[in-house]
Protein backbone atom coordinates (compact mmCIF):
# COMPACT_ATOMS: atom_id res chain seq x y z
CA UNK A 1 0.00 0.00 0.00
CA UNK A 2 1.34 3.47 -0.87
CA UNK A 3 2.25 5.59 2.12
CA UNK A 4 0.28 8.79 2.56
CA UNK A 5 2.41 11.94 2.47
CA UNK A 6 2.38 12.25 6.27
CA UNK A 7 4.00 8.85 6.66
CA UNK A 8 6.83 9.18 4.16
CA UNK A 9 10.22 9.07 5.88
CA UNK A 10 12.23 12.17 5.03
CA UNK A 11 15.95 12.48 5.64
CA UNK A 12 16.47 15.99 7.05
CA UNK A 13 20.10 15.48 8.00
CA UNK A 14 22.35 17.76 5.97
CA UNK A 15 19.61 20.40 5.58
CA UNK A 16 20.63 22.61 8.54
CA UNK A 17 17.42 21.54 10.27
CA UNK A 18 17.82 22.72 13.89
CA UNK A 19 16.17 19.61 15.18
CA UNK A 20 18.90 17.42 13.67
CA UNK A 21 21.93 19.71 13.40
CA UNK A 22 21.90 20.84 17.03
CA UNK A 23 21.65 17.33 18.49
CA UNK A 24 25.31 17.18 19.44
CA UNK A 25 25.23 20.58 21.09
CA UNK A 26 22.06 19.83 23.01
CA UNK A 27 22.17 16.16 23.82
CA UNK A 28 25.90 15.49 23.53
CA UNK A 29 25.29 12.97 20.75
CA UNK A 30 23.80 12.93 17.28
CA UNK A 31 22.44 9.42 17.66
CA UNK A 32 19.17 10.39 19.34
CA UNK A 33 15.86 10.43 17.46
CA UNK A 34 15.12 14.17 17.67
CA UNK A 35 11.59 14.88 18.93
CA UNK A 36 12.08 18.33 20.37
CA UNK A 37 11.83 21.62 18.41
CA UNK A 38 8.27 22.21 17.17
CA UNK A 39 8.42 21.60 13.47
CA UNK A 40 7.26 18.47 11.68
CA UNK A 41 9.24 15.70 10.04
CA UNK A 42 6.49 15.79 7.42
CA UNK A 43 6.70 17.47 4.02
CA UNK A 44 5.40 21.02 3.74
CA UNK A 45 2.23 20.92 1.55
CA UNK A 46 2.84 20.47 -2.17
CA UNK A 47 0.75 23.58 -2.93
CA UNK A 48 3.28 25.67 -0.99
CA UNK A 49 6.33 24.11 -2.62
CA UNK A 50 4.75 24.42 -6.08
CA UNK A 51 3.97 28.11 -5.54
CA UNK A 52 7.58 28.77 -4.58
CA UNK A 53 8.88 26.83 -7.59
CA UNK A 54 6.61 28.80 -9.87
CA UNK A 55 7.78 32.09 -8.38
CA UNK A 56 11.35 31.02 -9.15
CA UNK A 57 10.46 30.98 -12.84
CA UNK A 58 10.76 34.74 -12.63
CA UNK A 59 14.45 35.66 -12.49
CA UNK A 60 14.27 38.65 -10.13
CA UNK A 61 13.82 38.19 -6.40
CA UNK A 62 13.89 41.76 -5.19
CA UNK A 63 12.24 43.71 -2.40
CA UNK A 64 8.60 42.77 -2.42
CA UNK A 65 5.58 43.74 -0.42
CA UNK A 66 3.06 41.29 0.89
CA UNK A 67 0.07 41.50 -1.45
CA UNK A 68 -3.48 42.17 -0.37
CA UNK A 69 -4.31 38.76 -1.89
CA UNK A 70 -1.94 37.10 0.58
CA UNK A 71 -3.56 38.86 3.54
CA UNK A 72 -7.00 38.08 2.10
CA UNK A 73 -6.15 34.37 1.99
CA UNK A 74 -5.34 34.43 5.71
CA UNK A 75 -8.48 36.44 6.46
CA UNK A 76 -10.64 33.88 4.57
CA UNK A 77 -8.94 31.03 6.46
CA UNK A 78 -9.79 32.64 9.79
CA UNK A 79 -13.37 33.28 8.72
CA UNK A 80 -13.80 29.65 7.63
CA UNK A 81 -11.84 27.90 10.36
CA UNK A 82 -12.40 30.13 13.37
CA UNK A 83 -15.56 32.09 12.50
CA UNK A 84 -13.60 35.29 13.05
CA UNK A 85 -13.72 38.20 10.63
CA UNK A 86 -10.40 40.03 10.42
CA UNK A 87 -10.20 43.40 8.69
CA UNK A 88 -7.31 44.10 6.36
CA UNK A 89 -5.97 47.08 8.28
CA UNK A 90 -5.68 45.04 11.48
CA UNK A 91 -2.93 42.92 9.93
CA UNK A 92 0.75 43.51 9.41
CA UNK A 93 3.65 41.27 8.43
CA UNK A 94 6.13 39.92 10.97
CA UNK A 95 9.12 37.63 10.39
CA UNK A 96 8.52 35.84 13.68
CA UNK A 97 5.86 35.53 16.34
CA UNK A 98 8.55 35.76 19.03
CA UNK A 99 9.94 38.95 17.49
CA UNK A 100 6.42 40.43 17.47
CA UNK A 101 6.06 39.53 21.14
CA UNK A 102 9.19 41.60 21.79
CA UNK A 103 7.91 44.55 19.76
CA UNK A 104 4.49 44.39 21.43
CA UNK A 105 6.09 44.26 24.90
CA UNK A 106 8.11 47.38 24.14
CA UNK A 107 5.16 49.13 22.51
CA UNK A 108 2.70 48.53 25.32
CA UNK A 109 4.75 48.71 28.51
CA UNK A 110 7.74 50.45 30.04
CA UNK A 111 10.94 49.07 31.53
CA UNK A 112 10.27 47.74 35.01
CA UNK A 113 6.59 47.03 34.31
CA UNK A 114 5.23 43.60 35.17
CA UNK A 115 4.25 41.04 32.58
CA UNK A 116 2.20 37.99 33.53
CA UNK A 117 3.30 34.67 32.06
CA UNK A 118 1.77 31.28 32.80
CA UNK A 119 4.16 28.52 33.91
CA UNK A 120 4.84 26.16 32.16
CA UNK A 121 5.04 27.89 28.79
CA UNK A 122 7.08 28.14 25.58
CA UNK A 123 10.50 29.33 26.87
CA UNK A 124 10.88 32.50 24.72
CA UNK A 125 7.93 34.01 26.64
CA UNK A 126 10.20 34.33 29.67
CA UNK A 127 13.18 35.41 27.57
CA UNK A 128 11.31 38.23 25.82
CA UNK A 129 10.14 39.67 29.13
CA UNK A 130 13.64 39.49 30.61
CA UNK A 131 15.52 40.75 27.53
CA UNK A 132 13.24 43.78 27.43
CA UNK A 133 13.88 44.59 31.10
CA UNK A 134 10.31 43.96 32.22
CA UNK A 135 9.50 42.05 35.39
CA UNK A 136 8.16 38.53 35.16
CA UNK A 137 5.08 37.61 37.17
CA UNK A 138 4.64 33.88 36.80
CA UNK A 139 1.26 32.31 37.35
CA UNK A 140 1.39 28.54 37.85
CA UNK A 141 -0.92 26.38 35.80
CA UNK A 142 -2.07 23.47 37.93
CA UNK A 143 -3.68 20.17 37.03
CA UNK A 144 -7.16 19.58 38.42
CA UNK A 145 -8.40 16.15 39.58
CA UNK A 146 -8.87 15.07 35.97
CA UNK A 147 -5.31 16.10 35.08
CA UNK A 148 -6.58 19.16 33.19
CA UNK A 149 -4.33 22.22 33.38
CA UNK A 150 -6.07 25.34 34.65
CA UNK A 151 -5.20 28.84 35.75
CA UNK A 152 -6.71 30.19 38.94
CA UNK A 153 -8.42 33.48 38.14
CA UNK A 154 -8.69 34.61 41.76
CA UNK A 155 -5.04 33.85 42.45
CA UNK A 156 -4.16 35.69 39.26
CA UNK A 157 -6.22 38.66 40.43
CA UNK A 158 -4.23 38.69 43.67
CA UNK A 159 -0.95 38.77 41.73
CA UNK A 160 -1.86 41.98 39.91
CA UNK A 161 -0.28 45.26 41.04
CA UNK A 162 -0.44 48.78 39.55
CA UNK A 163 2.78 47.86 37.69
CA UNK A 164 1.14 44.91 35.89
CA UNK A 165 0.71 46.00 32.28
CA UNK A 166 0.65 42.88 30.10
CA UNK A 167 -0.53 39.30 29.97
CA UNK A 168 1.36 37.00 27.60
CA UNK A 169 -1.19 34.36 26.68
CA UNK A 170 -0.43 31.15 24.81
CA UNK A 171 -3.66 30.01 23.16
CA UNK A 172 -3.78 27.10 22.45
CA UNK A 173 -1.16 26.38 25.03
CA UNK A 174 2.33 25.03 24.39
CA UNK A 175 3.37 22.77 26.14
CA UNK A 176 0.25 21.58 28.03
CA UNK A 177 -1.97 21.36 24.91
CA UNK A 178 -4.98 23.17 26.36
CA UNK A 179 -7.54 24.88 24.14
CA UNK A 180 -8.86 27.51 26.52
CA UNK A 181 -12.66 27.48 26.75
CA UNK A 182 -14.76 30.56 26.10
CA UNK A 183 -15.51 30.78 29.80
CA UNK A 184 -11.82 30.66 30.72
CA UNK A 185 -10.90 33.23 28.09
CA UNK A 186 -13.75 35.51 29.13
CA UNK A 187 -12.58 35.45 32.74
CA UNK A 188 -9.06 36.38 31.62
CA UNK A 189 -10.36 39.01 29.22
CA UNK A 190 -12.54 40.69 31.87
CA UNK A 191 -9.77 40.62 34.47
CA UNK A 192 -7.33 42.26 32.05
CA UNK A 193 -9.81 44.92 30.86
CA UNK A 194 -10.73 45.70 34.46
CA UNK A 195 -7.09 46.34 35.40
CA UNK A 196 -5.86 47.99 32.18
CA UNK A 197 -3.68 44.98 31.35
CA UNK A 198 -3.11 44.50 27.62
CA UNK A 199 -3.21 40.95 26.24
CA UNK A 200 -0.56 39.66 23.85
CA UNK A 201 -2.18 36.48 22.55
CA UNK A 202 0.12 34.02 20.78
CA UNK A 203 -2.19 31.88 18.67
CA UNK A 204 0.38 30.20 16.46
CA UNK A 205 -1.03 26.73 17.33
CA UNK A 206 -4.67 27.72 16.65
CA UNK A 207 -5.13 25.45 13.63
CA UNK A 208 -3.81 22.32 15.36
CA UNK A 209 -6.91 21.67 17.44
CA UNK A 210 -8.52 18.23 17.83
CA UNK A 211 -12.29 17.78 17.71
CA UNK A 212 -14.49 18.42 19.63
CA UNK A 213 -12.36 21.31 20.85
CA UNK A 214 -12.67 24.67 19.21
CA UNK A 215 -10.19 27.54 19.22
CA UNK A 216 -11.58 30.92 20.17
CA UNK A 217 -9.49 33.85 18.92
CA UNK A 218 -8.94 36.14 21.90
CA UNK A 219 -9.85 39.21 19.87
CA UNK A 220 -13.24 37.66 19.06
CA UNK A 221 -14.42 37.54 22.69
CA UNK A 222 -16.01 40.99 23.00
CA UNK A 223 -15.49 44.53 21.77
CA UNK A 224 -13.68 45.44 24.98
CA UNK A 225 -11.27 42.49 24.75
CA UNK A 226 -10.81 43.06 21.03
CA UNK A 227 -9.67 46.61 21.74
CA UNK A 228 -7.27 45.34 24.38
CA UNK A 229 -5.55 42.57 22.42
CA UNK A 230 -2.61 42.01 20.12
CA UNK A 231 -3.06 38.65 18.39
CA UNK A 232 -0.15 36.80 16.80
CA UNK A 233 -1.00 34.33 14.07
CA UNK A 234 0.75 32.61 11.20
CA UNK A 235 1.11 29.59 8.94
CA UNK A 236 4.41 28.32 10.41
CA UNK A 237 2.99 25.55 12.61
CA UNK A 238 -0.19 24.83 10.62
CA UNK A 239 1.57 24.09 7.35
CA UNK A 240 5.04 23.17 8.61
CA UNK A 241 6.67 26.20 7.04
CA UNK A 242 8.60 27.79 9.93
CA UNK A 243 11.58 28.13 7.59
CA UNK A 244 9.73 30.81 5.62
CA UNK A 245 9.83 33.12 8.67
CA UNK A 246 6.45 34.68 8.08
CA UNK A 247 3.55 35.49 10.37
CA UNK A 248 1.13 38.32 10.96
CA UNK A 249 0.18 40.54 13.83
CA UNK A 250 -3.52 41.27 14.18
CA UNK A 251 -4.41 44.43 16.13
CA UNK A 252 -8.02 45.56 15.84
CA UNK A 253 -7.63 48.67 18.05
CA UNK A 254 -6.31 51.70 16.10
CA UNK A 255 -4.71 52.98 19.30
CA UNK A 256 -2.78 49.80 20.08
CA UNK A 257 -1.91 49.48 16.41
CA UNK A 258 -0.40 52.97 16.37
CA UNK A 259 1.73 52.15 19.42
CA UNK A 260 2.81 48.83 17.93
CA UNK A 261 3.60 50.39 14.51
CA UNK A 262 5.71 53.07 16.14
CA UNK A 263 7.84 50.41 17.82
CA UNK A 264 7.93 48.22 14.70
CA UNK A 265 9.47 51.12 12.76
CA UNK A 266 12.40 51.05 15.15
CA UNK A 267 13.40 47.53 14.07
CA UNK A 268 12.70 48.07 10.37
CA UNK A 269 11.93 44.49 9.39
CA UNK A 270 10.07 45.64 6.28
CA UNK A 271 7.62 43.48 4.42
CA UNK A 272 9.43 40.16 4.26
CA UNK A 273 10.76 37.84 1.59
CA UNK A 274 9.30 37.27 -1.86
CA UNK A 275 9.31 33.47 -1.60
CA UNK A 276 7.65 33.60 1.82
CA UNK A 277 4.84 35.77 0.51
CA UNK A 278 3.86 33.27 -2.16
CA UNK A 279 4.26 30.37 0.27
CA UNK A 280 1.99 32.13 2.79
CA UNK A 281 -0.72 32.83 0.22
CA UNK A 282 -0.65 29.32 -1.25
CA UNK A 283 -0.85 27.72 2.20
CA UNK A 284 -3.92 29.65 3.32
CA UNK A 285 -5.61 29.63 -0.08
CA UNK A 286 -4.97 26.00 -1.06
CA UNK A 287 -3.85 24.13 2.05
CA UNK A 288 -7.23 23.11 3.42
CA UNK A 289 -7.25 19.49 2.24
CA UNK A 290 -3.64 18.93 3.32
CA UNK A 291 -4.48 20.37 6.73
CA UNK A 292 -7.49 18.05 7.12
CA UNK A 293 -5.26 15.06 6.37
CA UNK A 294 -2.63 16.35 8.76
CA UNK A 295 -5.11 16.58 11.63
CA UNK A 296 -6.21 13.00 11.00
CA UNK A 297 -2.59 11.87 11.01
CA UNK A 298 -1.75 13.78 14.19
CA UNK A 299 -4.93 12.47 15.83
CA UNK A 300 -3.83 8.89 15.07
CA UNK A 301 -0.37 9.60 16.52
CA UNK A 302 -1.87 11.16 19.65
CA UNK A 303 -4.07 8.06 20.05
CA UNK A 304 -1.01 5.82 19.62
CA UNK A 305 0.70 7.56 22.53
CA UNK A 306 -2.51 7.27 24.55
CA UNK A 307 -2.72 3.50 23.97
CA UNK A 308 0.98 3.10 24.79
CA UNK A 309 0.76 5.24 27.96
CA UNK A 310 -2.16 3.13 29.19
CA UNK A 311 0.28 0.21 29.42
CA UNK A 312 2.94 2.19 31.33
CA UNK A 313 3.18 2.58 35.08
CA UNK A 314 5.67 5.40 35.27
CA UNK A 315 4.57 7.82 32.53
CA UNK A 316 1.28 9.66 32.51
CA UNK A 317 -0.09 11.33 29.42
CA UNK A 318 -3.31 13.18 28.74
CA UNK A 319 -4.15 13.58 25.06
CA UNK A 320 -3.61 17.23 24.10
CA UNK A 321 -6.62 19.25 22.96
CA UNK A 322 -4.31 20.99 20.48
CA UNK A 323 -0.70 20.97 19.19
CA UNK A 324 1.46 18.00 18.19
CA UNK A 325 3.27 18.10 21.50
CA UNK A 326 2.83 15.37 24.09
CA UNK A 327 3.43 16.54 27.64
CA UNK A 328 4.66 13.44 29.41
CA UNK A 329 4.41 13.33 33.18
CA UNK A 330 7.46 11.33 34.22
CA UNK A 331 7.36 12.20 37.93
CA UNK A 332 6.66 8.61 38.96
CA UNK A 333 10.16 7.74 37.75
CA UNK A 334 11.41 9.82 40.71
CA UNK A 335 14.43 11.07 38.78
CA UNK A 336 15.84 14.59 39.13
CA UNK A 337 15.40 16.76 36.03
CA UNK A 338 18.98 16.26 34.92
CA UNK A 339 18.75 12.48 35.39
CA UNK A 340 15.42 12.39 33.59
CA UNK A 341 16.88 14.13 30.56
CA UNK A 342 19.94 11.86 30.65
CA UNK A 343 17.68 8.84 30.90
CA UNK A 344 15.87 9.80 27.70
CA UNK A 345 19.12 10.55 25.87
CA UNK A 346 21.39 7.75 27.11
CA UNK A 347 18.90 4.92 27.63
CA UNK A 348 16.05 5.57 25.21
CA UNK A 349 18.18 7.47 22.63
CA UNK A 350 15.43 10.07 22.29
CA UNK A 351 15.95 13.83 22.12
CA UNK A 352 12.96 15.46 23.83
CA UNK A 353 12.49 18.91 25.36
CA UNK A 354 13.01 18.82 29.12
CA UNK A 355 9.93 20.01 31.01
CA UNK A 356 11.97 22.26 33.25
CA UNK A 357 12.91 24.44 30.26
CA UNK A 358 9.24 25.53 30.19
CA UNK A 359 9.35 26.77 33.79
CA UNK A 360 9.43 25.29 37.27
CA UNK A 361 5.99 23.69 36.83
CA UNK A 362 7.55 21.60 34.09
CA UNK A 363 9.84 19.80 36.49
CA UNK A 364 9.51 16.02 36.06
CA UNK A 365 7.92 16.35 32.59
CA UNK A 366 9.27 15.82 29.09
CA UNK A 367 7.74 17.22 25.88
CA UNK A 368 7.62 14.90 22.88
CA UNK A 369 6.94 16.22 19.38
CA UNK A 370 4.79 13.62 17.62
CA UNK A 371 4.53 15.37 14.22
CA UNK A 372 6.42 12.53 12.60
CA UNK A 373 5.58 9.56 10.40
CA UNK A 374 3.76 7.00 12.56
CA UNK A 375 6.56 4.45 12.16
CA UNK A 376 9.02 6.86 13.81
CA UNK A 377 6.67 7.39 16.73
CA UNK A 378 6.05 3.66 17.05
CA UNK A 379 9.81 3.01 17.18
CA UNK A 380 10.32 5.75 19.75
CA UNK A 381 7.57 4.42 22.01
CA UNK A 382 8.81 0.89 21.60
CA UNK A 383 12.35 1.94 22.64
CA UNK A 384 11.06 3.96 25.56
CA UNK A 385 8.81 1.11 26.72
CA UNK A 386 11.76 -1.30 26.58
CA UNK A 387 14.05 0.86 28.71
CA UNK A 388 11.24 1.67 31.15
CA UNK A 389 10.73 -2.03 31.74
CA UNK A 390 14.41 -2.13 32.73
CA UNK A 391 14.12 0.73 35.23
C1 LIG B 1 3.76 29.24 21.30
C2 LIG B 1 4.79 29.52 20.24
N3 LIG B 1 4.98 30.77 19.81
C4 LIG B 1 5.89 31.06 18.86
C5 LIG B 1 6.67 30.07 18.31
C6 LIG B 1 7.70 30.42 17.28
O7 LIG B 1 7.20 31.34 16.36
P8 LIG B 1 8.18 32.06 15.34
O9 LIG B 1 9.05 31.02 14.74
O10 LIG B 1 7.25 32.69 14.33
O11 LIG B 1 8.94 33.08 16.12
C12 LIG B 1 6.51 28.75 18.74
C13 LIG B 1 7.37 27.68 18.20
O14 LIG B 1 7.48 26.61 18.71
C15 LIG B 1 5.54 28.46 19.72
O16 LIG B 1 5.34 27.22 20.16
**Which residue, among 205, 207, 198, has the nearest Cα to 230 in the 3D structure?**
198
Quick one: pLDDT band at residue 1, thresholds 50, 70, 90?
A: low
What is the side-by-side order of every strand in the sheet holding 229-233? 91-94, 247-250, 229-233, 198-202, 164-170, 114-119, 135-140
Question: Domains of the chain (ranges plus CATH)?
Answer: 5-44+288-389 (3.90.1150.10), 52-286 (3.40.640.10)
- Global pTM reads 0.98
Ligand 1 pocket member 96 (CB < 6 A): yes
Q: What is the largest CA-CA distance in the chain?
A: 63
pLDDT digits (tens, 9 = 90+) for 60-97: 999 999 999 999 999 999 999 999 999 999 999 999 99
Gap from CA of 388 to ligand 1 centroid (Å): 32
**Which residues is 164 bridged to in the sheet?**
114
How many other β-carbons are positioned within 10 Å of the β-carbon of residue 382?
11
Which atom in ligand 1 lies closest to the alpha carbon of residue 234? 10
What is the average pLDDT across 32-55? Answer: 98
Q: Helix 124-131 and helix 97-108: axis angle, to 10°?
A: 40
**Which residue, among 69, 64, 100, 105, has the nearest Cα to 248 in the 3D structure?**
100
Gap from CA of 58 to ligand 1 centroid (Å): 31
pLDDT at position 244: 98
Ligand 1 pocket member 174 (CB < 6 A): yes
| Distance (Å, whole) CA 54 – CA 45 | 15
pLDDT at position 390: 85
Which atom in ligand 1 lies closest to the alpha carbon of residue 100? 11
Provide the 8-state DSSP code for 316. B
Percent residues over pLDDT 90 in the chain:
98
**Which residues is 167 bridged to in the sheet?**
116, 199
Gap from CA of 39 to ligand 1 centroid (Å): 10
pLDDT at position 355: 98
Whole-number mean pLDDT of the chain? 97
Has residue 2 got a pLDDT over 90?
Answer: no
What is the average pLDDT across 294-319? Answer: 97
Percent residues over pLDDT 70 in the chain:
99
| Distance (Å, whole) CA 237 – CA 243 | 10
Ligand 1 pocket member 40 (CB < 6 A): no
Ligand 1 pocket member 121 (CB < 6 A): no
Assign 266 to helix, strand or coil.
helix
Assign 298 to helix, strand or coil.
helix
**Which residue, among 133, 155, 130, has the nearest Cα to 142 in the 3D structure?**
155
pLDDT at position 3: 75
pLDDT digits (tens, 9 = 90+) for 114-136: 999 999 999 999 999 999 999 99
Amino acid sequence: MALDSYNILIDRSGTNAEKYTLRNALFGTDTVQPMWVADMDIATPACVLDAVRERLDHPVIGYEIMSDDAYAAQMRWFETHHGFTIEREWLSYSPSVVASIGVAIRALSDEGDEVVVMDPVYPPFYAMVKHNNRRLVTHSLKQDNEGMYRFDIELLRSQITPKTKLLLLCSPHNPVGRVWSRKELESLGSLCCEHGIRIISDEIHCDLVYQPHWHIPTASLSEAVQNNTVMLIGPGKTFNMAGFSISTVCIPSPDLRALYDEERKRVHWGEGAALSHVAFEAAYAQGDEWHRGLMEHLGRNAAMIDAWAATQKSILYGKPEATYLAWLDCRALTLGDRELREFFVREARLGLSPGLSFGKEGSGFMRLNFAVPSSILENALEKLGRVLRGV
